[in-house]
Amino acid sequence: MAASDLDAALGDAECVLLDSSTLIAFHSPAERSHELARHVLGRIARDDDSLRGCYSCLSAVELLIRPIRTGHEQFTFMHTFLTEFPHLTELPLDFTVAVQAANVRAVAGLTLPDAIIVASGLLAGCETIVTNDGRWKQRCEPLFRQFKWIYLEAFV
């Protein structure tokens, strides 16, 4: 499978939630799904493509931990990516997200961080969730059918 299969799975989606694992794969050439994550984010960055991306504030936390530990240059790089990448929007974490996350955790059994990320996408009106975590598709797809659940590893 390849990028063309991923594009077919994305279909005419205009708003995708990118899980932390997808954003990490984008920055990690050693990840098996790196090229697919690069493809999705490449599409998001293009002005002539209607695909737009979102990520949870919690994903920003997860992406910033290692750069904070490793030094100013890495932190600046990741901060710039998270704040300036074209057509990529951070979703806030507030009480409404907290209530929805509690619901997701209660019915799907996801970890609290994962439930927060999914809840953020639900509330933002994302049509598709792109993840590298196969448990999300297994546990959430039957419960939250309003999303397309795309598991990157399935396209490698």
Domain ranges of the chain: 3-155
**Residues 88-108: pLDDT tens digits?**
999 999 999 999 999 999 999
The mean pLDDT of the chain is: 94
Would you say residue 32 has pLDDT above 60? yes
**Residues 33-91: pLDDT tens digits?**
999 999 999 999 999 999 999 999 999 999 999 999 998 899 999 999 999 999 999 99
Say if residues 126 and 147 touch (Cβ distance below 8 Å). Answer: yes
Class in CATH terms, 3-155 = alpha beta
Phi, psi of 145 (to 5 degrees): -75, -10
pLDDT at 2: 86
pLDDT at 128: 95
pLDDT at 71: 85
Cα 111 to chain centroid distance, Å, stands at 16
Compute CA distances 152 → 6, 68, 126, 131, 137, whole Å: 8, 27, 17, 6, 11
pLDDT at 1: 56
pLDDT at 136: 81
- pLDDT classification of 14: cutoffs 50, 70, 90: very high
Say if residues 136 and 113 touch (Cβ distance below 8 Å). Answer: no
